[in-house]
Chain A
């Protein structure tokens, strides 16, 4: 199984900050990575697919980069509604492993 190592596990930031979350895969997977946002009690919400494609309806302050084994999610200017937990996921092969999650909290 592919392992997805996500960092940091949590971070504190202020509104307007630029935030970057990293995910490293245990083997190369081209661009088969999704990024999700999840708030308590809700389902994951797809932000980025295929490493860098913005899902329809998602604000342009979210962006994704990477290929092979190293991937990043960047929020260019953090907004109050962005305080949530973020997950990367490999969509290359089953079992479609997720990273451990990054909780973004208000500083």
Chain B
């Protein structure tokens, strides 16, 4: 069974950092790209960024709103993807989801999400 489990969400002050994890199981993690999405309270869904599989260079892409502050990495030996978030702003407050792509359907499985609250 494919599973993605996010963790690491917390309440943090503006300007601080936080690292989220996405732990995967049930599929060949290294063969898939991983995306992070977020959803602010009561709002719609927003793509944050993704990391390609090593087959495609393991390179990353980011939304303009987080570029230069957020970094995605992956540890294929542990089947974990990370979202390092620096210089957090109040507008980064959201539920953060990870999802995979590269199969028949992109974004077919999602984790349950982890909540990040940025507030003083």
Contact = CB atoms under 8 A, between A and B. Distances in A.
Contact residues of A: prevailing secondary structure: loop
Contacts of B61: 94
B112 A49 contact: no
Given A34-B106, A46-B107, A101-B44, 6 more contacts: A43-B110, A43-B113, A46-B110, A49-B108, A94-B47, A95-B46
Interface residues of B, number: 21
B108 to A, nearest CB: 5
B35 A96 contact: yes
A21 to B, nearest CB: 14
Interface of B: 35, 44-47, 50, 61, 63-64, 97, 101, 104-113
A26 B28 CA distance: 35
B45 A89 contact: yes
Interface of A: 34, 42-46, 49-50, 53, 55, 87, 89, 91, 94-101
Q: Is the interface of B mostly helix, strand, loop or mixed?
A: loop
Contacts of B101: 91
Contacts of B50: 94
Contact of A43 (B35, B44, B112): B112
A1 to B, nearest CB: 9
A87 B44 contact: yes
A55 B110 CA distance: 14
A91 B107 contact: yes
A34 B106 CA distance: 8
